[in-house]
Amino acid sequence: MKPLRQLCHAGTRRAWLVGLLALLLPGVALAHPHGWIDIRVRLVVDEEGRVEALHQAWRMDPFYSLVLIEELSRTEGGLEAGLDRLGGEIRGNLAPFDFFTEVRVGDDELSLGDVTEYTVMERDGRVEFIFLLPLAEPQPLSEQTLQYQVFDPTYYLEVVHEAEDDTPNEDALTVGGELSCTTRILPADPDPELVAEAAMLDINDQAEPGMGRHFAETGVVACE
């Protein structure tokens, strides 16, 4: 697991996990400056073979999940109500950053729409944020190659597709609809100098803007 950087709001005692833990865990990030998210992505395709959205599921790592569950269980309404509140906070805080997602078809970066469908749940002891990230306009996939990356620009959290023994799970990237498509998840291949720079980052250090991009996996979908 790679070293990751903390992102905090000025003037508040509550630490952020890059917007994900949204004002709920005072001081925890300071004590544990490492974390990761396991993701699954499904392309939502309409009857005309156009991709409409990326349905994403983000599973927070076991440590932060444990702390979150314990913290939320002590809040008003208990764990279920706390998870509902957390979902709204995550959605609100990641929306200005397009949910850390970039999508391209060829050389063109696609504009993203507004997330209105989302939920947070506890699954197998881990907190999972599930949401539907629409494209601003549906994009034809026939004879096209779509690529996406999901990454924390500050590189405080590592974002990777769900995998077993470094092999992505079959459901880590899927495509809905009737199109014939192939999928691949390409591992990151950062420059060794960037790896060394990231390894030296302390909790109070500032990563170069966009460093997370260099450590991001790339999902590739090619359709006939």
Q: How far apart are CA 20 and CA 6, in angstroms?
A: 12
- In the three-class reduction of DSSP (H, G, I as helix; E, B as strand; rest coil), residue 212 is classed as helix
DSSP assignment of 31-87 equals H----EEEEEEEEEE-TTSEEEEEEEEEEE-HHHHHHHHHHHHTSTTHHHHHHHHHH
Q: How many residues does the chain have?
A: 224
Confidence of residue 37 (pLDDT cuts 50, 70, 90): very high
- 49, pLDDT greater than 70: yes
- 62, pLDDT greater than 80: yes
- In the three-class reduction of DSSP (H, G, I as helix; E, B as strand; rest coil), residue 9 is classed as coil
Q: Is 200 exposed, middle or buried (0-12, 13-18, 19+ CB in 10 A)?
A: exposed
Q: How far apart are CA 82 and CA 204, in angstroms?
A: 29
The per-residue pLDDT of the chain, averaged, comes to 82
**In the chain, % of residues over pLDDT 90:** 59
Calculate mean pLDDT across residues 28-35. Answer: 42
The answer to whether residue 181 sits within a structural domain is yes
Calculate mean pLDDT across residues 16-44. Answer: 58
Calculate mean pLDDT across residues 108-122. Answer: 97
Report residue 39: phi and psi, to 5°: -120, 155
Confidence of residue 161 (pLDDT cuts 50, 70, 90): very high
Calculate mean pLDDT across residues 77-83. Answer: 94
The answer to whether residue 155 sits within a structural domain is yes
Residues of the domain holding 74: 14-223
The answer to whether residue 113 sits within a structural domain is yes
Total domains, the chain:
1
Cβ pair 52, 132 in contact under 8 A: no
The answer to whether residue 5 sits within a structural domain is no
The answer to whether residue 122 sits within a structural domain is yes
Q: Tokens representing 217?
A: 């996996």
Q: How far apart are CA 187 and CA 151, in angstroms?
A: 13
- 100, pLDDT greater than 80: yes
pLDDT in tens, 186-221: 999 878 887 777 777 666 566 666 778 888 999 999
Lookup result for tokens 């279920």: 80
- 90, pLDDT greater than 80: yes
The answer to whether residue 1 sits within a structural domain is no
The answer to whether residue 130 sits within a structural domain is yes
Q: How far apart are CA 82 and CA 71, in angstroms?
A: 9
The answer to whether residue 7 sits within a structural domain is no
